[in-house]
Amino acid sequence: MKGVDGQALPRLSAADYFVQTWGVLVAAYRELNARKLFWVALVLNGLVIAAMAAVGVDEKGVSVFGFELPIPLVNTTTYPDGKLYKFIFVGLGVGIWLAWLSTILALLSTASMFPDLASGGVDTMLSKPIGRTRLFVTKFISGLLFTALQVTVFSLLAFLVIGIRGGSWEWGLFVVVPLMVVFFSYLFSVQAVVGMITRSPIASVIVTLLFWIFVFLVDAGERFTMVGVISSRLEIAGIEARMEKVEDEERKSGFTKRRDERLETLPNWELAHGIFYAVKTALPKTSETAGLTTRALALTTEMPVDDEEQQVDEQERRRRGLFRSEFVSPRKLEAAINQEYESRNVWWVVGTSLGFVAVMLGVGAWYFRRRDF
């Protein structure tokens, strides 16, 4: 670009960009520090970890605050090397605390960030040499600080507890920091756009929570139809395996009839699953992203099976009048579902979700660029 005198005008350098971006991030950190919710969440982090640390496991079993709990098959033999603590970390720490409660606190804490940006307070900022798109995106990144700081503290404490109490120094659990930041970014992108358009913190939180419920329902629908597909396929495979060994024609036709019944319903399940899967592909995959922690820590949810559970399975099979070959036990089904989830490419899970975030940020930045203040 040239000035009126024909001379080339100066341009912003990378160092200039850094100075501004760092300035916004420092201000965002100060903003978080000033919010009570940030400290409340930090204290709750400590309590969750304290609860985890209160659990003891030895060769006899499990205890909490020294009181032994009657949980069969859970001891250092079945859960060696701090595996129980890792389960608690993934199940309670990530699955419930970080993926739900802490996320809601983060959404509440950052709710006013974009309405503030879209209201009168932005005048001074916009008059500075920072592009609106960059300002929007930098503000978005600074909003992720809440989760990044909280999860870092949480992971560090969990790392110490698992190391000290479980004797296993699990560096891999720090993968939860980027994963949960990415997880939060899915929802925060919606909150940012709604906050920018409505300029209302309350509206942005409500719409984001409704969106989260929608995502959850789509995920549940996808899982439900996946169960239909997988169980049908397992049943068909079981029946066909059995058919090969049966000589008697009458019994064979009985198997054929049952197989055909399942073959008839399988396309419907597959169609329904295909639809849910397509919708889910376009949406952020919150549950699966949180579930990536399990993969990263190489934890399987396969529990040891005791006789009692086997008896329950047998009763269920008889109640349904199924042959052993066509009966799919809940554990077998669960294992197959887990296998299906784990077979999904991480880049499909995170990449398509970040694609959603990019689209939302694009919409938000476009709106921000076009608005007069």
- Interface residues with another protein (CB under 8 A) are 1, 3-6, 9-12, 16, 19-20, 22-23, 26-27, 30-31, 33-35, 119-131, 370, 372-373
Q: Are 145 and 29 in contact (CB under 8 A)?
A: yes
The owner of tokens 């880049």 is: 347
Q: How far is the CB of 31 from another protein (least distance, A)?
A: 5
Provide the 10 A C-beta neighbour count for residue 286: 20
Q: How far is the CB of 2 from another protein (least distance, A)?
A: 9
Closer residue to another protein, CB minimum distance, 20 or 293: 20
Q: How far is the CB of 18 from another protein (least distance, A)?
A: 10
| CA 303 – CA 331 distance, rounded (Å) | 9
| CA 129 – CA 69 distance, rounded (Å) | 62
| CA 226 – CA 274 distance, rounded (Å) | 9
Residues forming beta bridges with residue 55, ordered by sequence position: 64
As to burial, measured by CB atoms within 10 angstroms (0-12 exposed, 13-18 middle, 19+ buried), residue 85 is buried
Closer residue to another protein, CB minimum distance, 18 or 348: 18
The owner of tokens 């503290």 is: 153
Residues forming beta bridges with residue 56, ordered by sequence position: 63
Closer residue to another protein, CB minimum distance, 15 or 43: 15
Longest pairwise C-alpha distance within the chain: 99
Closer residue to another protein, CB minimum distance, 95 or 131: 131
Q: How far is the CB of 328 from another protein (least distance, A)?
A: 57
Classify each residue of 188-222 as buried b or exposed e, where b means 16 or more C-beta atoms within 10 Å of its C-beta.
bbbbbbbbbbbbbbebbbebbbebbeebeebbebb
Q: How far is the CB of 362 from another protein (least distance, A)?
A: 19
Q: How far is the CB of 122 from another protein (least distance, A)?
A: 8
Closer residue to another protein, CB minimum distance, 248 or 372: 372
Provide CB contacts within 8 A for 69, sequence distance 6+.
Answer: 61, 62, 63
CA angle 263, 266, 267 (to 5 degrees): 110
Q: How far is the CB of 330 from another protein (least distance, A)?
A: 52
Q: How far is the CB of 112 from another protein (least distance, A)?
A: 11
Provide CB contacts within 8 A for 140, sequence distance 6+.
Answer: 185, 188, 189, 192, 361, 364
